[in-house]
Structure 1
Amino acid sequence: MKAYIKAVSYYLPEAILSNDLINKDFPEWDIEKISSKTGINSRHISAADEFSSDMAVKAAEKLFKEHNIDKSSIDFLLFCTQSPDYFLPTTACIIQEKLGLKTSIGALDFNLGCSGFVYGLSLAKGLIAGSMAQNVLLITAETYSKFIHPKDKSNKTIFGDASAATLISSENGFCSIEKFVFGTDGKGAENLIVKQGGMRYPVSENEDIEDEFGNIRNDKNLFMNGTEIFNFTGEFVPKLTESILEKSDLSKDDIDLFIFHQANKYMLNHLRKKIKIPEDKFFIAMEHCGNTVSSTIPIAIYEAQKQAKFNEAKNVVLAGFGVGYSWGACNLIIGN
């Protein structure tokens, strides 16, 4: 049975952290340098009392309203987050109640970062192919800002909070979901990590540590080894792209649009050049929201639709990669 992406919407929190505001906190951090290197002009930050479930509900409500979707048609809810409301209960259960979805649906959380949307599409397709669901609501939501130390200028510059809601259906949508490839390498786990807060390292008081670049954090905060993450993407993402093309029996020239996880502009352009993707086939949409982790790809899909990028397209490749290490890619066929 075929599975289709029927509709996408997204929600950004009200508070905006602009490059101007970052420059006020860190005068040595040049505004033009931030914009040119990261490709980010502003990012949205969740309120102190706003959490992943709140943002998920707002994204889903936008989806229902913008695309005239009857919420009673939803028969499975998938929620991707690394910043859940609680260890337990499952945040997807909370979202089900807040949205007023029927109680006969399945609902679960899965913990993945920048590859999460691609993995979510695969889970949704599997549910539909197995005749376990007809309409799957896939929601991605992160509040990474709550993990970031106020004086960590590096991570503060890159990450923003957001939620995206996607309807995957057995009925025709604007594109069919086709082949997938995946990858995992846990040896990179400590290169992008919030060390404390789980069972292995419960939260305790820590002294702040300043790194060689002047970023301050402790083990309760998000740590990212930028050099190692960059090296990982440079090694694995070209192979990932080659693998999905081979599995889909397509050449690079057959692809009309590539939408990668929106990590930062510098990394994306490096990958584009390394893989030899023409600039007009490589979509970037992050200047207004930053790196929103699992929501970057659906946000980019929404913006690509708004800019009519799919109107003349047939084949699209999605690729997510990052924390874990985890990576995944799939191809879409527009209008199929």
Structure 2
Amino acid sequence: MNIGIKAIEYYLPQKILSNSDLAEAFPGWTEEKIFNKTGIVNRHVANDEEYVSDLAYCAAKKLFENHSIEPKDIDFVILFTQSPDYNVPTTACILQDRLEIPKSAGAFDINLGCSAFIYGLAVAKSLINTNIAKNILLITSETYSKYIDPKEKSVVTIFGDGAAATLISCNEVSQIKEFDLGTDGSGAEQLIVPSSGIRSKGTGKVTQDDNLYMNGPEIFNFTIDVVPKSIDNVLKKNNLTFNDIDFFVFHQANGYMLNHLRKKCNIPEDKFFINMIDTGNTVSSTIPIALCLAEKEGRIKRGDTILLVGFGVGLSWGSTIIVW
């Protein structure tokens, strides 16, 4: 039996921030210009009473209902988020109770963003391989909008909120293969919310340090450097060649970066996925959402070999190959 992805579902908040809204807020930026730079038309953003656990709950309930999954069968919950409901307690524990998952299930949060889904697959596979768990609910959920200054167009035009829920277990067809994972913490300050933890508690007043900061050029240079190398590494680790891959799904960072990466890596357009028009960059959830959309569009099918790459905040990256 293989360890693989059995099902994925995602949830997006109802509130929408459109290019029309942004063009009105930023004179000189047209809807067309925003789309050409980002590949995005609409972003879903959480409302004031909506938090990571709410989005995660909705994604998990959708997974359970659409795939006839019983909460009692889940024996581990892993939540990846960088905007948890609380720093204490762990949001995964709140979800275990809210989703009526047995108290015998393990649950924890992991703080990781753009590469989170790849790391999540690695952790889930390891837990199953070591007989710690059999059916793992992997959730990625993010509300970056709560960190964003609405006047900062470099980030407000890119990021959207959302959650995805993935069931990982043993099965006959789908498979999670070997990984290439990496970290460069020297770039931590290139994508950061300075006052988001104990180190900078602040005065209680909202300051610039409460907002998300992104050094776009540095993130771009980092990505262009590490992604091609990670692809080469993960192919070697799996004893596969470029031609063995049926489809490529990268972290949906922004349209410009993805198109540049596709060309740099010599990936044919028909094997490469870009669709963030109505989601924006949902950070940890972009890859599972992209997999759902790619299947819906008929671009991937059962048994396809797919190369996944996540990259960004940390700085961190990860690649793996799955059989769908």
TM-score in terms of structure 2 length: 0.97
The letter for the 2-side match of 1:186 is: G
The separation in 2 between residues aligned to 1:289 and 1:203, in whole angstroms, is 32
CA drift of 1:198 comes to 1.0
Out of 313, 318, 333, the position equivalent to 2:308 is 318
Partner secondary structure for residue 311 of structure 1:
coil
CA drift of 1:2 comes to 2.8
* TM-superposition CA deviations, 1:144-203 (whole Å, max 9, x none): 00000121112000000000000001133x521111110001000000000003111113
The letter for the 2-side match of 1:111 is: N
The separation in 1 between residues aligned to 2:105 and 2:199, in whole angstroms, is 33
The separation in 2 between residues aligned to 1:328 and 1:310, in whole angstroms, is 21
The separation in 2 between residues aligned to 1:2 and 1:131, in whole angstroms, is 14
Any stretches of 5+ residues in structure 2 without a counterpart?
none
Out of 209, 218, 221, the position equivalent to 1:228 is 218
Partner secondary structure for residue 166 of structure 2:
strand
Contact 2:2 2:174 in 1 (8 A): no
Equivalent residue for 2:262? Answer: 272
CA drift of 1:66 comes to 1.2
Does residue 185 of structure 1 match 2:175? no
Equivalent residue for 1:194? Answer: 193
Out of 231, 255, 276, the position equivalent to 1:286 is 276
Contact 1:317 1:331 in 2 (8 A): yes
Report the more deviating stretch, 307-316 or 258-267.
307-316
Does residue 163 of structure 1 match 2:163? yes
% same residue: 55
CA drift of 1:207 comes to 8.4
The separation in 2 between residues aligned to 1:37 and 1:269, in whole angstroms, is 11
Does residue 248 of structure 1 match 2:246? no
CA drift of 1:265 comes to 0.6
Q: Quote the RMSD (CA, aligned, Å).
A: 1.3
The letter for the 1-side match of 2:178 is: K
The separation in 2 between residues aligned to 1:197 and 1:7, in whole angstroms, is 33
The runs of at least 4 aligned residues of structure 1 exceeding 4 Å deviation read 205-208
Equivalent residue for 1:214? Answer: none
The letter for the 1-side match of 2:184 is: D
The separation in 1 between residues aligned to 2:174 and 2:254, in whole angstroms, is 26
The separation in 2 between residues aligned to 1:164 and 1:255, in whole angstroms, is 24
CA drift of 1:312 comes to 7.3
Equivalent residue for 1:237? Answer: 227
The letter for the 2-side match of 1:252 is: F
Q: What is the aligned length?
A: 324
Contact 2:11 2:59 in 1 (8 A): yes
Equivalent residue for 2:45? Answer: 45
Contact 1:114 1:320 in 2 (8 A): yes
Contact 2:162 2:282 in 1 (8 A): yes
The separation in 2 between residues aligned to 1:111 and 1:175, in whole angstroms, is 27
Equivalent residue for 2:97? Answer: 97
The separation in 2 between residues aligned to 1:175 and 1:313, in whole angstroms, is 7
The separation in 2 between residues aligned to 1:153 and 1:20, in whole angstroms, is 13
TM-score in terms of structure 1 length: 0.94
* TM-superposition CA deviations, 1:7-29 (whole Å, max 9, x none): 00000001000100111111211
Pair 1:258–1:56, CA change in 2 (3 A): same
The separation in 2 between residues aligned to 1:107 and 1:207, in whole angstroms, is 32
Contact 1:3 1:171 in 2 (8 A): yes
The separation in 1 between residues aligned to 2:146 and 2:33, in whole angstroms, is 25
The separation in 1 between residues aligned to 2:282 and 2:301, in whole angstroms, is 26
The letter for the 1-side match of 2:18 is: S
CA drift of 1:314 comes to 2.6
Equivalent residue for 1:301? Answer: 291
Pair 1:28–1:206, CA change in 2 (3 A): farther
